[in-house]
Structure formats: C-alpha cells, structure tokens
Amino acid sequence: MKIVVIQGPNLNMLGVREKQIYGPMRLEQIHAQMKEVAEQNGVEIEFFQTNLEGEIVDKIQECYGEANGIIINPAAYTHTSIAIRDAISAVGIPTIEVHISNIHRREEFRKVNMIAPVCASSIVGFGPFGYHLAMMGMLQILSELKAVHDAQMAAQAEA
C-alpha cells in the first residue's frame, strides 16, 4: 500500500512563518513522524510539496493507479482551486484533507472550502498532530477497503 502526502503553498515555511498560527514545527519534522507511522504499519509513503497549483494537480493525477490514498494540505488553494477539487474527484482515490489551523475560526474567505466535498474527511485545527490523525484515518480507510475487496474475492472464489 502507498500513501502520497501532498503539501501546498507556503508549507515549506512551517516553523518560520506565523508561528502563533502554525506553530514552531517544520515540515521535515512532520514528515519524519508520518514516515515512522507508515513504516510501523508496512505502508510506503511519499512526500511532495509545491507552491504551484498546477503541480499539485499533476501530482494528484500521477497518483492514479500508483497510490492507495492521498493526504493533502492544499493550503491557500483550499479556498480557490476548482482544479485541485476536480483532480481529486477524477482519480477516485481516498483523500483526507488536513489543515494545521482551524480554517473555520479564521478570516471569512478561509471558510470557503472547495476541497472538502470531494474528500473522505477533513482534519482541521489540531496543529501538526492533524497529520497523525490523517495517517490513522487513512490506515483505517485502506484497511476497510482491503477487507471489502478480500470478502468480494472470497465470494467469487466460492461461486
């Protein structure tokens, strides 16, 4: 199984920018923790960060047929990107959206979320711990999908 973690604009500046909102943890530290959880569960994990919307769309499309799950923080594109929304919808891969801050308690424009309706779940406001919650959620989703697949295969073998 493979999970791809896609990080949007300015997340490469975690630990530097607006620490009062995003905290002191750097993206590399978050990824190290996620990698540890993936290894403990026998799951391959890949990380990708870009500040460019089109590169996020390309990465989502590259996941088709290659990844079992996507964890994404589209950052500011959450509020504006129909292209990212459409890409997630097109690939049909279970996707969990993560936001470090609680976007629902921030500026009015951040309350618009183009991405959530095409995701299995959204995790907001837990700081960097939200990525751990996303990993646990994705592992559960993939486990359930595997159980359904295995049951269908067993039923076909009996038929």
Tokens representing 124?
């907001």
What is the C-alpha separation between 73 and 99, in angstroms, rounded?
6
Q: Of residues 22, 104, 132, 149, which has the active-site annotation?
A: 22
To the nearest 10°, the Cα dihedral for 64, 66, 72, 75? -70
Q: Of residues 31, 77, 79, 99, which has the active-site annotation?
A: 99
User: Is there a catalytic annotation at residue 64?
Assistant: no
User: Is there a catalytic annotation at residue 131?
Assistant: no
What is the DSSP pairing of strand 69-73 with strand 2-7? Answer: parallel
Enzyme catalytic residues: 22, 99
